[in-house]
Amino acid sequence: MKTAARVGIAALIVKLAGGAPVHLVEEPPAKISTPEPGVILVDFGKVAFGNLELSPPEGAKGRLKVHFGEAEENGRINRKPPGTVRYAVAETDFTGGTPLIAAPPADARNTKQPAAILTPSDWGVVLPFRWVEIEGWPGQLEPDQILRRSAFASTWNDDSAAFDSSDETLDRIWELCRYSIKATTFAGVYVDGDRERIPYEADAYLNQLSHYAVDNDIQMARDTYDRLMAHPTWPTEWAPHMVFMAHADWMHTGDAEWLKPRYEALKSKLLMDRVREDGLVTSNDRQQKRDDIVDWPKGERDGYVFREINTVVNAFHIAAVRRMADIADAVGKTDEADSYRQRAEKTGKRFNELLFNKRTGVYRDGIGTDHASAHASLFPLAFGLVPQEHIGTVTTHLKKRGMACSVYAAQYLMEALFENGADKAALDLILAKGDRSWRHMLESGTTISWEAWDQRYKPNQDWNHAWGAAPANLLPRYVIGAQPLTPGWKTTRIRPCLSGLTETKGKVPTPHGPIHVHWSKRGAVLGLRLELPEGIEAKVELPAIGGNKVTADGHDVPVTKEGSVLKLEEKFTGSTEFTVR
């Protein structure tokens, strides 16, 4: 922590069953006030999962009533918050000179379910809260008499990553999302928020991407993966996300040894049991009505029409088969890798023959309908399934549709736009006014990302959901522009998207050490400073502006122009200053 908090509590560092090590961090209050006689309001500045340690003054004795809140209203804790936004109350006796732990009773919704992740019993109950109101405290509450014991991954390093740009609101969105990833490490594995405290595959993959982008830890993603393989959930498209998780681990770490014992079991996540003769995945009546999810909550599906051949389901299948081919190569199964690639190519061709509507230039929801939701096009575009000649019409369609999806599918919509020359449109959606953007979350006052864009789209939403923190990975990957091209980041792509900004500076963690990128645009001149750790070489791609002349440390370098991008022909290591003019 960057505060004067007493960090550690070594005795309470634990490794949860099947999870990464977590610990409690003692955090002091940000502000203490007295909104009315007999009531003390304490603000800790941000929401965290934890409870309180109180130190009553010597000689005092009595009973306290402590209110915990995740939301405030008119300067007080909201005691009737919407949905599953947290409010709880605890009563406890106290004796002066004896510290005590204040926490409410356990919530059966996230502790009694068989799949719920439990925190250590010797911690006491933890819940997400920012504010507390205390009744019955003897005299004035001093800052050193109250601490929040907040649960975080014990390996977390606040200095692992950084993002700073010419747009202050964007910087605050990144910090909101970065902190969201930190705050939701409390359980040792990735959970879907406080309502259930259960891992789900799609949540876990999005969480993994952002965790890699803001911290150095890899173990929590791996522990979550193993738990989900033992305790899978029900949605159709959640199963292929396990292939995505395994592939992301390999690309980030380069560790094929971790993959080898997991390879055979991973085959069950490809939906092969539902494949018909031409390679497309089918959905029976039950799967169409319940299991095929497309997006969540249901109201975010943009009117999607479910059919036996579902475009989104098949896009996930093909994307997973492609990544499975890479995994097969990594573990030495070259024949199987070739077979997966052939299957992906054949099925992808059939997919485009039957599901792309040449008349409209976009994808239909499935065979037997011409309805074209945003989802039917955003997932194929994000997964690289759209033929080159159709990328323009599909991208234009998505730009016009805007944020016609949930915070979950927005991860893929943003990837689709950033990867296909529509980075300005992507950033505009992140910063958009209205209630369907990360700007809206920020301006609501939340300090952890939400499960949905707004309460009206999901009345029972959690206010502590890591799948709502996509900019934590999108901004480093696309605006800073750092992504691994080969496993373990040994070859890295540096391709910043200007997105209407004039300057961005960032720090991106890798297993070799951090990558530092600082670029600025002044008129028709772009300057970029790149610092790579030892063990990494970079392929650099820069925006084509001005006369498209590129220098590296003052020397002209050969480039190949592809569309609006200048691809530098040589690779770079160490520190280099680039100029485009």
Determine the pLDDT at residue 18: 57
Domain residue limits at 528:
487-580
Determine the pLDDT at residue 547: 84
Determine the pLDDT at residue 112: 87
Amino acid at 9: I
User: Are the CB atoms for 465 and 177 separated by under 8 Å?
Assistant: no
- Does residue 4 lie within any of the structural domains? no
Note whether 364 and 442 are same-domain residues: yes
- Does residue 1 lie within any of the structural domains? no
Note whether 146 and 227 are same-domain residues: no
- Does residue 299 lie within any of the structural domains? yes
Task: Mark the ranges of the chain whose per-residue pLDDT is less than 50.
Answer: 1-13
Note whether 183 and 309 are same-domain residues: yes
Note whether 298 and 251 are same-domain residues: yes
Note whether 352 and 406 are same-domain residues: yes
Question: Hey, what are 174's tokens?
Answer: 């990144």
Note whether 171 and 141 are same-domain residues: no
Note whether 36 and 177 are same-domain residues: no
> CATH no. for residue 498?
2.60.420.10
Which letter, b or e, does each residue of 98-134 get, where b requires 16 or more Cβ atoms within 10 Å of its Cβ? eeeebbbebbeebeeeeebbebbeebbbbbbbbbbbb
Determine the pLDDT at residue 10: 34
* β-sheet bridge partners, residue 539: 493, 571
Report the relative pairing of strands 537-543 and 491-494 from DSSP bridges. parallel
- Does residue 3 lie within any of the structural domains? no
CA-based Rg of the chain, rounded to a whole angstrom? 25
- Does residue 2 lie within any of the structural domains? no
- Does residue 324 lie within any of the structural domains? yes
Helix, coil or strand: residue 541: strand
- Does residue 248 lie within any of the structural domains? yes
Last-in-domain residue among 114, 129, 153: 153
The number of angstroms, rounded, from the C-alpha of 211 to the middle of its chain's C-alpha atoms is: 7
Note whether 86 and 177 are same-domain residues: no
Cα gap 464→472, rounded to integer Å? 15
User: Are the CB atoms for 69 and 129 separated by under 8 Å?
Assistant: yes
Note whether 345 and 380 are same-domain residues: yes
Determine the pLDDT at residue 113: 83
Note whether 191 and 292 are same-domain residues: yes
> CATH no. for residue 62?
2.60.120.260
Helix, coil or strand: residue 562: strand
User: Are the CB atoms for 99 and 2 separated by under 8 Å?
Assistant: no
- Does residue 188 lie within any of the structural domains? yes
Note whether 456 and 532 are same-domain residues: no
Last-in-domain residue among 153, 179, 200: 153
Question: Hey, what are 169's tokens?
Answer: 């609101």
User: Are the CB atoms for 576 and 530 separated by under 8 Å?
Assistant: yes
Note whether 168 and 287 are same-domain residues: yes
* Number of domains, the chain: 3
DSSP annotation of 147: E
> CATH no. for residue 384?
1.50.10.10
Last-in-domain residue among 465, 480, 495: 480
